[in-house]
């Protein structure tokens, strides 16, 4: 287990400062503008690509090159400290890359992950497509279908995906679809879908927060992709489906493995927790500085216990959330999740972000409720941490099943 009694090493501190400086110099000065525009911040993402922050090398090194597993959480916390909407625009392609890594072969990983990012001169985007209009947290009810055409060795996909980050504007969409509806979530597979005929953007959502991140429907109408675009390959899929069908007949039979979507989310939950940490820390630091400067009744308001105690609890909860997040990141990196630690980190950090940003508004009073101050934006951004990649109730369900060993519904 990582020893959290010691400081970050020199490389981690250098990374933290590098990303923090980018957040200060490039993200924060334009954060309010892109939030108001509700548009994808191409200039910021292109600048991130220019310096190597938005790149397959950065994500690969952060995922595989650090034995502690902390590289990505450290970087993500600083990005989301800068701005959650822009941070998600920069990190959104990582979810597509994670979907490929979780379900694909080494050859597919090498081929498709770089295409989720492109180069500094040719920036590209990835999108991970799971949720649907009638299937959000209930991934077992996906209606998007994938049918194999033996004559051409192609898969034909039809359906509509909803709430997709980079949906419709991405160069690579990783689509989770049902191949055998009788098997529920065990009858699903993931496909790499580049920009091809039949794939289009549906409605673009106008959101409460993270407005600089593009979120839209993805419509698939008779989309054809080669058999090689099935992540993991057909032989592996056929074997998984056979085990699932056997389990239907003999419930005590061999388990058929994880759902494609859940395999991706399990790996990324500590990263989402780190996103929440960044937003919470931004609000806490701003409120702390404000409380030291704002005077009332002849002294700084931090001298009042009602304010000082709020800040004390904000700081405590952020530190607790960070320790949960770093533990989960270490365990995920080393493949030793034991008790749903990823879900614990996301659940606690998400709740912390919502609570801390709300307290920051309270400390600023009426000013905090206006758009002249950033805490109201951070509060709007924080709420999504309780929702996407599994709501807080889904995290509670996962945790309760892990600690009880029972199939709690």
Active site residues: 389
Between CA 132 and CA 162 the distance in angstroms is: 5
Cα separation, 280 vs 185, in Å, equals: 34
Q: Where are the beta strands (DSSP E) in 13-79?
A: none
Q: Where are the alpha helices (DSSP H) in 104-233?
A: 106-112
Distance CA 212, CA 358 (A): 21
| DSSP type of residue 231 | T
- Which residues sit opposite 93 in a β-bridge? none
Closest CA to 283 of 364, 372, 347: 364
Taking the C-alpha atoms of residue 37 and residue 314, their distance in angstroms, rounded to an integer, is 31
Look up tokens 């503008």; give the residue: 33
Beta bridge partners of 155: 148, 225
Concatenating the DSSP letter of every residue in 256-301 gives ----HHHHHHHHHHHHHHHHHHHHHHHHHHHHHHHHHH-EETTEEG
DSSP 4: T
CA distance 34 to 168: 19
Tokens 């050859």 — which residue? Answer: 107
Distances in Å between the Cα of 268 and the Cα atoms of 199, 226, 343, 345 are 26, 28, 10, 11
With H, G, I as helix, E, B as strand and everything else as coil, classify residue 129.
strand
**Alpha carbon of residue 393 to chain centroid:** 17
CA angle 333, 336, 340 (to 5 degrees): 100
106 exposure class (CB count in 10 Å sphere: 0-12, 13-18, 19+): exposed
Q: Are 328 and 269 in contact (CB under 8 A)?
A: yes
């Amino acid at each position: 287990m990582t020893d959290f009694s010691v400081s970050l090493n020199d490389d981690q501190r250098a990374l933290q400062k590098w990303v923090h400086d980018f957040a200060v110099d490039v993200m924060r000065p334009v954060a309010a503008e892109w939030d108001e525009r509700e548009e994808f911040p191409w200039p910021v993402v292109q600048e991130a690509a220019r310096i190597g922050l938005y790149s397959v090398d950065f994500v690969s090194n952060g995922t595989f090159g650090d034995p502690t597993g902390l590289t990505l959480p450290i970087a993500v916390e600083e990005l989301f400290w800068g701005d959650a909407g822009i941070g998600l625009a920069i990190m959104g392609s990582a979810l597509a890359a994670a979907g490929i890594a979780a379900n694909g072969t080494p050859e597919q990983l090498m081929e498709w992950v770089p295409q989720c990012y492109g180069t500094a001169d040719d920036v590209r985007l990835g999108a991970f497509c799971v949720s649907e209009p009638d299937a959000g947290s209930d991934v077992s009810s996906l209606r998007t279908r994938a049918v194999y055409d033996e004559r051409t060795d192609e898969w034909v996909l039809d359906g509509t995906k909803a709430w997709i980050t980079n949906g419709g504007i991405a160069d690579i969409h990783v689509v989770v679809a049902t191949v055998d509806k009788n098997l529920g979530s065990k009858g699903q597979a993931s496909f790499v879908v580049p920009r091809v005929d039949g794939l289009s953007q549906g409605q673009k959502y106008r959101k409460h927060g993270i407005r600089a991140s593009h979120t839209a429907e993805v419509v698939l109408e008779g989309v054809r992709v080669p058999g090689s675009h099935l992540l993991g390959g057909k032989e592996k899929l056929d074997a998984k489906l056979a085990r699932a069908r056997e389990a239907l007949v003999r419930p005590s039979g061999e388990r058929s493995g994880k759902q494609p979507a859940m395999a991706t989310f399990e790996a990324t939950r500590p990263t989402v927790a780190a996103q929440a940490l960044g937003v919470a820390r931004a609000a806490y630091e701003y409120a702390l500085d404000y409380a030291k400067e704002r005077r009332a009744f002849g002294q700084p308001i931090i001298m009042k216990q009602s304010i000082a105690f709020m800040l004390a609890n904000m700081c405590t909860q952020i530190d607790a959330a960070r320790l949960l997040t770093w533990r989960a990141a270490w365990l995920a990196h080393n493949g030793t999740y034991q008790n749903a630690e990823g879900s614990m980190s996301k659940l606690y950090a998400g709740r912390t972000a919502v609570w801390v940003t709300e307290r920051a508004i309270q400390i600023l009073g009426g000013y905090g409720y206006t758009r002249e101050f950033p805490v109201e934006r951070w509060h709007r951004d924080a709420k999504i941490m309780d929702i996407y990649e599994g709501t807080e109730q889904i995290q509670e369900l996962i945790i309760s099943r892990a600690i009880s060993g029972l199939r709690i519904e």
